[in-house]
Amino acid sequence: MNSLKNSRKADRKKLSCLCLAVVSFYEENSLTYRFVNAINLSVQGVLVESDIPFDRGSQVNLLIKTPESDQWDTFICHIVWNKTTVADKIHYIGLEFICPTDKAFKKDPIDKFKIYPKDIDFILNTRLVKVLPENGICSFLNCLSYKILDPGVRFITYGKREDSLYIIQKGLCSIQIQKQDKTIQTVSQRREGDIIGEIALLTGEPRTASVISESKMILWELQRNKFDTVCKSHPDVRVFLTELLTNRLENSYVIGVRNIGRYVMTHRIGDGGWSFVYKGKHKTLNMPVAIKMMKHNQAMDSDFIENFKKEGKTIARMSHPNIVQIYDIEEIYRTIFIIMEYLDGESLESLLERKGSLPFSRALDFLLQICSGLAYAHDKEIVHRDIKPANIHIMDDDRIKLLDFGLACTPGEEDFEQTGTVQYMSPEQIEGDPVDLRADIYSLGIMAYEMFTGEKPFPEDDIMALMKMHVHDDIPDPSILIPDLPSSINNFILKACAKSPDQRYNTVYEIIEELSSAATMLKEKISQKPDNEKEVTVVLISHEKSKRNSLNKLLDEFSSRAEDLGLSLMIAGNTQIK
């Protein structure tokens, strides 16, 4: 007891980040281990968080590498206290070092652990684990089983529905298929760092080949049911599936692997916050398409998917010249693929980055096309919710296409997820209030401000500060930056960006009427503006010497006609060409 009191009085160092540790202990006469996160430590003990409790008073071995250390240290510890938070089901464990001042314990034989530091370092440095969020790594690692196989072991069997994938740490295995004549053929091999059997997590379909170890192997096994359990408590861990799938799609030379329904992927052409975009083609028509793959953190969100499926059919049926055409929606690999028309040109975001502000006439033309597409969607009771330059595509002939109706919702739906992009997000979206078409009008106004001025109205990098500005601050008057901005355009931007939805336009048709009038007045103003700019046209005449007199007469006549038209004419001297 005195030891415990003293350890609690010892200076504790709170770690700057979660520090991974391994606790090994005997369970049913078998040595097992558990990954935990170290929160703080002192010379006499350490505080860890775990997804399972430990019995108070029990003895365990601790393997830990602090951020300041390049080596793993080992300790023998007692569990001195155990506290569980009911809300998040996290167990906080107090471990007291046994004889912590005895340096011999830091060199305690490592084979008390079922796995070695080199094993842990390997799995932590694999590409798929590196993408995991820090707070989910520990729970993910506890899904893995460390396995050692002798040569000649079949650990994946053709035709069986098995639920595990394997990360190969050491050794070699062969992938075998059975030919029609019943003979076995080795088609490829896998070695250190490779992943095999990923289809178990992605589809759960029967195995398409058998896998045999050719040498002694060290594997990390990940079972689907364990992974899915962790995803419920740590949804961000689903990024593992996205990385797994993109690795499979982008690195496979087998066309069948890249098939998405009637389409085949070729290469990635873009990515965003919730999706990757690939170029592809229709397998029989050879028609180019864009294939958008939804990332798994949203594709496996039941609320998001329920809403998406509810609106997906409506979105797919939309047919308007200013809205990208959706051809198909495929659900496979535990995610959703949206197949749409392939577009040339560039995004409005890219254009604004290159040009800054746009000429008034071009910006008006773009806005009218955007409004035309939005009005069509609103008539079908679809609110876009993410109007921004990145979702406006400019074709080579300056036709506009609206993209990404995947975040769309019906009017009046509450936006608790705050979907959208903060720079263009309406106050009601930020506060999670019900949204309607006026949320799109606000985003349109913010985007118009940037198109005409070349600047964002709230150029704040701090997300929280930016959200407060959208909710509480009026946007700056754009005419301050652009004094010659037509008043009708200036008024449109200010009204569209009103804080209260009731003070904005009620429909996009009202905006179309105002902007059409502004476009007409701008055209009239341009046509009435005298063109006083001077131009110079140079004419070079090559002639034979014998024709000089005839040429002089021609030039005299030309000079007289030029004076009648108010043109200034200057004739240079002769130059001989040898």
Catalytic site residues? 396
How many CA atoms are closer than 13 Å to the CA of 322, on its beta-carbon side? Answer: 16
Question: Rg of the Cα trace of the chain?
Answer: 34
Token look-up 């985003």 returns 443
As separate numbers, helices (DSSP H) first and strands (DSSP E) second, the chain gives 18, 25
**544: number of Cβ within 10 Å:** 7
| Beta-bridge partner residues of 337 | 293, 330
For residue 404, the 8-state DSSP code is -
**H or E element, residue 184:** strand 184-190
232 contacts 158 by C-beta, under 8 angstroms: no
The two tokens of residue 403 are: 């993209």
Helix orientation angle between 348-355 and 437-453, rounded to the nearest 10 degrees: 30
Interatomic CA distance for residues 212 and 389, integer angstroms:
52
Strand order across the beta sheet in which 275-282 lies: 259-260, 263-271, 275-282, 288-294, 335-341, 326-332
Sign for the CA dihedral angle at 176, 178, 184, 185 comes to negative
318 contacts 405 by C-beta, under 8 angstroms: yes
> What's the length of the chain?
578
**26: number of Cβ within 10 Å:** 12
CA angle 233, 236, 237 (to 5 degrees): 80
Secondary structure (H, E, C), 348-395: HHHHHHHHCCCCHHHHHHHHHHHHHHHHHHHHCCCECCCCCHHHEEEC
What helix, strand, coil percent values describe the chain, rounded to 5?
Answer: 40, 25, 35
Return left, alpha or beta for 29; rule: phi > 0 is left, psi -120 to 50 is alpha, else beta.
left
Query: Which residue type, as a one-letter code, is found at position 545?
Result: K
